[in-house]
């Protein structure tokens, strides 16, 4: 705010200096015009210049009211003969400067209306001057380098005002276009962040709820006949529920960490899952009846964001196996080198006559595909000819291990 105030003060100083310069130019034009001198006394050139240039110094306060003041004073100075014959256009320089500011801060329709009013007033005033005032002035002492003529005066004034209005309107359009672009970019960033959080929550909740549903079904069926197995299933449900709640707190903490001072240190520093946590995913899948063979070849250090994406892709793939094919056999292969990571998850399909999956679909596969797309990689998912389902992903990334 302090910097903004300094900037505004700088503009005010610039306007005041400009007003003083324009006042001196108007005074000189009135005192030594190219055509016949004004019938006003010579000393009047000073107050005339000051009054006509005053709107320049005040134009950033109430620009529309100041524009009206500038246009009216210019018209009055013209029709009363206080201006310089042959240089009346100088009188409308303040009007042009104020018109530029108004046009740069208002709509195109209002800018056109203000411009039309200013041009109409100036043209009418010049015509009145040359019709009623100019014939009564004393002839110039010497020949003029620019003979007074109303078409020239009107042409110069019109070009001056139209140029000021057009430049102001162009500045206003550019500002609006930039503001719209910034707004659209901000909305795109927010939408991307929402999709990212949605993917995180989908992966966390989907995987955990699939495991919980399987174990709850087991506990319900064996509660009477095999209570020990039922208690083991309930223990897995309890453990999974606790870890899921912690993970949800971590994801939601990402939303609150920038603006909620009540967020605790523990919430903001919960560990981010990565490749080292893949064995835990395999254990969860095994507890749900999936025989998992996990192979990880890690030849390079991964960026944290890539490591989490690998974890989420494997997590969602195993969730789909648990949901659609368990009990079954599944192999998970992760190969990491300094330039890319390849992931392949294969399952043998459901046993006990459950219908196989017929093709890719669902939010889980969409989420995996979006994660891979962020890195410009490739993703494929679909039934295997020999039965079962295959998920394959390739994630290229920067060789720099510190990249995120």
Name the pairing type of β-strands 378-383 and 389-396: antiparallel
- Which region, left, alpha or beta, applies to residue 7 given φ > 0 means left and ψ of -120 to 50 means alpha? alpha
- Distances from the Cα of 319 to the Cα of 230, 289, 322, 331, angstroms: 22, 12, 5, 13
Q: With respect to residue 394, please indicate whether it lies within any of the assigned structural domains.
A: yes
> How many domains does one find in the chain?
2
Quick one: 13 and 126 in the same domain? yes
Query: What's the confidence (pLDDT) of residue 1?
Result: 40
Quick one: 162 and 295 in the same domain? no
Examine the pLDDT at 11 and tell me if it is beyond 80. Answer: no
Q: Kindly state the helix (H) or strand (E) to which residue 391 belongs, with its residue range.
A: strand 389-396
Examine the pLDDT at 357 and tell me if it is beyond 80. Answer: no
Q: With respect to residue 251, please indicate whether it lies within any of the assigned structural domains.
A: no
Q: With respect to residue 12, please indicate whether it lies within any of the assigned structural domains.
A: yes
Q: For the segment 103-146, what is each residue's pLDDT rounded down to a tens digit?
A: 998 888 998 999 999 999 999 998 988 888 777 666 555 555 55
Q: With respect to residue 228, please indicate whether it lies within any of the assigned structural domains.
A: no
CA 370, 375, 378, 379 torsion: positive or negative? negative
- Distances from the Cα of 335 to the Cα of 276, 342, 346, angstroms: 13, 5, 15
Q: For the segment 240-274, what is each residue's pLDDT rounded down to a tens digit?
A: 677 667 666 666 665 555 444 444 444 444 566 78
Name the pairing type of β-strands 290-298 and 328-336: parallel
76: containing domain: 2-138+146-185
Query: What's the confidence (pLDDT) of residue 262?
Result: 46
Q: For the segment 269-296, what is each residue's pLDDT rounded down to a tens digit?
A: 456 678 888 998 888 888 777 899 999 9
Closest CA to 323 of 210, 154, 156, 244: 210
Q: For the segment 24-63, what is each residue's pLDDT rounded down to a tens digit?
A: 888 877 766 665 566 667 777 788 888 888 888 888 878 8
Q: With respect to residue 311, please indicate whether it lies within any of the assigned structural domains.
A: yes
Query: What's the confidence (pLDDT) of residue 6?
Result: 45
Cα(77)–Cα(81) distance, integer angstroms: 6
Q: With respect to residue 197, please indicate whether it lies within any of the assigned structural domains.
A: no
Q: With respect to residue 247, please indicate whether it lies within any of the assigned structural domains.
A: no
- Please identify which residue in the block is written with the tokens 């009135």: 30
Question: What rounded mean pLDDT belongs to the chain?
Answer: 78
Residues contacting 332, CB < 8 A, separation 6+: 278, 282, 292, 293, 294, 295, 314, 317, 318, 343, 344, 345
204 band by pLDDT with thresholds 50, 70 and 90: low
């Amino acid at each position: 705010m302090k910097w903004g105030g300094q900037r505004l003060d700088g503009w005010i100083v610039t306007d005041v200096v400009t007003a003083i310069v324009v006042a001196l130019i108007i005074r000189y034009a009135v005192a030594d015009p190219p055509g016949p001198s004004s019938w006003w006394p010579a000393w009047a050139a000073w107050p005339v210049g000051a009054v006509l240039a005053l709107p320049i110094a005040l134009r950033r306060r109430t620009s529309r009211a100041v524009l009206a003041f500038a246009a009216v004073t210019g018209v009055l100075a013209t029709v009363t003969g206080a201006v310089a014959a042959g240089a009346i256009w100088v009188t409308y320089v303040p009007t042009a400067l104020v018109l530029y500011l108004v046009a740069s801060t208002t709509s195109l329709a209002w800018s056109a209306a203000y411009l039309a009013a200013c041009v109409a007033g100036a043209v009418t005033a010049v015509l009145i001057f040359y019709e009623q005032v100019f014939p009564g002035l004393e002839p110039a002492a010497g020949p003029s380098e620019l003979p007074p003529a109303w078409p020239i005066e009107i042409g110069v004034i019109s070009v001056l005002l139209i140029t000021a209005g057009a430049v102001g309107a162009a500045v206003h359009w550019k500002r609006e276009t930039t503001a719209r672009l910034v707004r659209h970019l901000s909305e795109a960033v927010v939408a991307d962040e929402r999709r990212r959080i949605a993917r995180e929550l989908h992966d966390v909740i989907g995987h955990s709820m699939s495991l919980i549903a399987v174990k709850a079904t087991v506990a319900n069926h064996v509660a009477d006949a095999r209570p020990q197995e039922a208690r083991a299933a309930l223990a897995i449900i309890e453990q999974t529920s606790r870890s899921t709640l912690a993970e949800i707190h971590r994801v939601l903490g990402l939303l609150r960490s920038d603006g909620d001072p009540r967020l605790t240190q523990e919430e903001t520093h919960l560990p981010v899952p990565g490749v080292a946590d893949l064995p835990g995913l395999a254990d969860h899948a095994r507890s749900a009846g999936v025989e998992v063979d996990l192979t990880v070849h890690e030849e390079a250090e991964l960026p944290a964001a890539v490591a989490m994406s690998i974890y989420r892709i494997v997590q969602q793939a195993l969730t789909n196996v648990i949901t659609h094919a368990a009990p079954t056999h599944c192999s998970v292969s992760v190969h990491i080198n300094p330039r890319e990571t390849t992931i392949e998850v294969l399952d043998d399909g459901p046993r006990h006559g459950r219908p196989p999956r017929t093709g890719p679909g669902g939010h889980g596969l969409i989420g995996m595909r979006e994660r891979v797309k962020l890195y410009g990689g490739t993703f494929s998912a679909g039934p295997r000819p020999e039965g079962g389902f295959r998920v394959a992903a390739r994630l290229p990334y920067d060789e720099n291990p510190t990249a995120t």
